[in-house]
Amino acid sequence: MSKDSTKLLLTTKEQTEALAEDEASYENQTQTMMKIPIELLPNIES
């Protein structure tokens, strides 16, 4: 297996795991997700 193929497999596995985490977070009925414009984050975090 070439170095590029290995990188592609790792990237695909990481993306698959991240997608599974995202999907699981939407199924959690005790939390909510909000889409907030990046420029507003400093106001929210302070």
For residue range 2-20, list pLDDT tens digits in order. 877 777 777 888 888 888 8
Q: Please give the tally of structural domains in the chain.
A: 1
Q: What is the pTM of this model?
A: 0.46
Q: What torsion, rounded to 10 degrees, do the Cα atoms 22, 7, 38, 32 define?
A: 10
Distance CA 22, CA 37 (A): 19
Question: What residue type is 20 in one-letter code?
Answer: A
The residue range of the domain holding 20 is: 3-45
For residue range 19-43, list pLDDT tens digits in order. 888 888 778 788 777 888 888 888 7
* pLDDT for the residue numbered 6: 73
* pLDDT for the residue numbered 46: 53
Rounded alpha-carbon distances, angstroms, from residue 21 to 7, 18, 26, 27: 21, 5, 9, 10
Please list, in sequence order, all residues whose beta carbon lies within 8 angstroms of the beta carbon of residue 9, skipping any fewer than 6 positions away: 1
Q: How confident is the model at residue 45 (pLDDT cuts 50, 70, 90)?
A: low
